Amino acid sequence: MHLDLTGRTALITGASRGLGAAIAQAYARAGADLILWGRDERALKTQAARLQPTGRRILTQRVDVTQPAQVRQALRFALRQFRRIDILVNNAGIWGGDPALTLDRRTWDQVLTTDLTSVFFLSQAVARSMVKRGYGKIINLASTAGVMAIPHGAAYASAKAALMHLTKVLAVEWGPHGIRVTGIAPGVFRTDMTRDLYEDRRWMKRRLAELPLRRFGEPEDLHGLAVFLASSASDHITGQTILIDGGASLTT
């Protein structure tokens, strides 16, 4: 019963593919209605069609989270349609990996804006509506890059480390209003963002040998944790970012 999301509405950014699509699938199966945001309208429609058999209400919106005007307009429309947002999953993000010596200002700004700044301002906007109801769940998709030093990760890892700390700050400020703020920090899961890595057989062989569980993460591995953090089963948890990486961060 505690893992049932029936009657709740979840807004998921970056929901057209990868981890965002996996979380949307898990929430629909658990009973939640969905607001799916992404930049690829066709992919969003495809994702919504896959979820139709669950019988949930699904709204897809083409939104670039780095564009404040788009965010405001889409959020107003979504709230008119669903009246409230119970769960916000901040999943949209980009990699932008370059060596620190050649990383340019444009890439740095793009990564920080997408992976950190947009998360804060969308969370702020959604939290205002949650405060009125005295309840809400905000889940930030961080990364093990936020706790591990990885080559070419100056911008991405800095954004994710900051996001993990922002999760704590927002949990402290918004906890008195009944809003729980938590994070999920995946390792290197198989997604579009990591496709190049998984095409490198030498990297795969070396990395697999380092993983205590001896297997890579798949998007479906997020289902249980994502539903748990969105549900009443985790109502006494806030400010925590949970690593889900097959033990990779234990040995690296």
| First-last CA distance in the chain | 38
Report the C-alpha gap between 24 and 186 in whole angstroms.
16
Using only C-alpha atoms, the chain has a radius of gyration, in whole angstroms, of 17
Query: Is 198 assigned a catalytic role?
Result: no
Q: Which of 27, 135, 156, 198 is catalytic?
A: 156
Task: Please state, as a whole number, how many other Cβ atoms lie within 10 Å of the Cβ of residue 33.
Answer: 22
CA 120 to chain centre: 13
Q: Computed from CA positions of residues 245, 233, 92, 115, in that sequence, does the dihedral angle turn out positive or negative?
A: negative
CB 46 within 8 A of CB 123: no
Active-site residue set = 156
